[in-house]
Amino acid sequence: MLNIGDIIIAIQLKWRNDKDLTDDEQKEVKWLGKQCKEAKKQIKDSISFIQSGKLPAFENRRNMNIKLDESAKIVPLIIFMNEN
């Protein structure tokens, strides 16, 4: 997550394990479809958790406690990393 005051960017990162890389286009499309579905569910869960107000405060490197504002605008961002 990236907290920019009244905006929170909820980030979900998906990548393909090196051992599972393939040049088979059908397998790549299947992988992408599965990852899209999973990422969408995970980002929705993250947003719901933030909006619930139950997310505990975080301590940053400056020893400051940061509490996310559950009324902030939340922007979902899903990033896919795949060499193919």
- Name which residue leads in pLDDT, 16 or 78: 78
What was the pLDDT predicted at 83?
66
For residue 7, what pLDDT band results from cuts at 50, 70 and 90? very high
Distance CA 82, CA 79 (A): 10
Average pLDDT, the chain: 87
Q: In 3D, which of 16, 6, 10 has the Cα closest to residue 78?
A: 10
pTM assigned to the model: 0.73
Q: Is the pLDDT of residue 38 over 70?
A: yes
